[in-house]
Amino acid sequence: VTTEIRDNKKGDNRMESILDQSVRKLADIRENLESWLLRHPECEDVNGDVKSYHRYLSALDLELARLALKLDNLYHFI
């Protein structure tokens, strides 16, 4: 039983690490994209409407929130 619990804990730690890395990578991607957008104001069209790059930021924000919630749930589960 102890070995089984230990193996499960290793699996949980591995999953926690994978989710944590994913959140950090997505946060880096989002930060890089936002930085790029700030340096390239031509991404906005003539009417001042933002183009699809800004939609990518919103999508990344949602994905970050989703992964952070999964990570938080995992911490509470462990």
Q: Residue 15: pLDDT band by 50, 70, 90 thresholds?
A: confident
Sign of torsion over alpha carbons 41, 46, 48, 53: negative
What tens digit of pLDDT does each residue of 28-78 get?
A: 887 887 787 777 766 665 555 556 667 777 877 888 888 878 877 776 665
Q: Is the pLDDT of residue 11 over 70?
A: no
**Whether the Cβ atoms of residue 14 and residue 69 lie closer than 8 Å to each other:** no
pLDDT of residue 36: 78
